[in-house]
Amino acid sequence: MNNFWPALFYSLLLLVITSCSDDPRSERGQETSPETLGYIELLDNELENVLNTDAKPEIIGEGFEWSEGPVWVAEHGFLLFSDVPANTIYRWTEESGVEAYLEPSGYTGSSDRGGEIGSNGLIIGNDGELFLCQHGDRRIARMDAPLNEPSPEFSTVADNYDGQKFNSPNDLIQHSNESIYFTDPPYGLEGYVDDPAREMEIQGVFRADPDGSVTLLTDDLSRPNGLAFSPDESLLYVANSDNNRSIWMVYDVMETGDIENGSLFYDTTEYVGLEPGLPDGMKVRSDGYIFATGPGGVWIFTPDARPLGQIKTGEFISNLAFDETEETIYMTANNYLLRLRL
């Protein structure tokens, strides 16, 4: 009688184990498959040559205040992205998921302040260093520590133009000649355009050269935001995240590094408010296709401004990044981090 209950227990345990192993849901990878969010909308059949139109964005992280600035770090095989209000950069890997990487990321002051104080746009520079748009410190900065040993120690790349402090640098790219191009809307100021600490009346597109000089390239845009070069660096695309002028512009890049001949690339003002999003972050793939966040999701354009389709999630997608193979795209969408296998 004393052996009855242990025997029964082990019999039931064996039954449970056997049942689980026969359950088709326990096949490798199916239990841990990420939840998806959204779909790809086809506008032109050429899109089928650009990506898998049946693919769906996967949720690989969530719970952020406002995710932004994703960048793939090919050397170490991880993704970095900003949570702007949280003043934190997070790292994502396939093995460990999301974990804190750097804090503070955009505001290193000692006094309390509100607003979107953290880092926004991030890039890995030509020499492998991390460059940041720091809203709170109102500058372009470089992290002094190695990428695999992050530390909130920064050097200023640019923090003013003609003695006037920037509003809140938002996004940045680096030219092959080492110059950094960046945008400076007012989104990181606590009082926005009416912030008493605001020193500059314009919202410009700037260039910071290796010698420390800063050049205003254009102040014609009301809310300059994301920007990207064409593959040969002959063109500069710039997003304008204004409800009343929701557009992308394209400029010729001159040998001097200046930009000229600005023209409208595409206008989405009529779609503002119908679906979440505005022209924000953008990337140009090595084959010239433009992936640009805007009303409704990520728009995919040909170099001649023909829209091929959208990656739609129902969320405000702020920015995106390719991995080194350009076979995967990572997107920051409101409180989500998403992955799409192209």
- For residue 118 the two structure tokens come to 């953290």
**H/E element, 5:** helix 4-22
Mean pLDDT of 276-305: 98
For residue 47, what are the contacts with CB-CB under 8 A and spacing of at least 6?
40, 53, 300, 308, 309
Mean predicted lDDT score pLDDT of the chain: 92
Tell me if 215 sits within 8 A of 205, measured CB to CB. no
Q: Is the C-alpha dihedral spanning 247, 133, 211, 149 positive or negative?
A: negative
What is the predicted pLDDT for the residue at 191?
A: 92
Summarised one tens digit per residue, pLDDT across range 243-277 is: 999 999 999 999 999 999 999 999 999 999 999 99
What is the predicted pLDDT for the residue at 54?
A: 97
Summarised one tens digit per residue, pLDDT across range 10-31 is: 444 444 434 444 333 233 334 5
Burial of 108 (0-12, 13-18, 19+ CB in 10 A): middle
* Complete DSSP assignment for 239-275: EEEETTEEEEEEEEEPTTS-EEEEEEEEE-GGGBTTB
Tokens 């606590």 locate to 190
Mean pLDDT of 201-205: 96
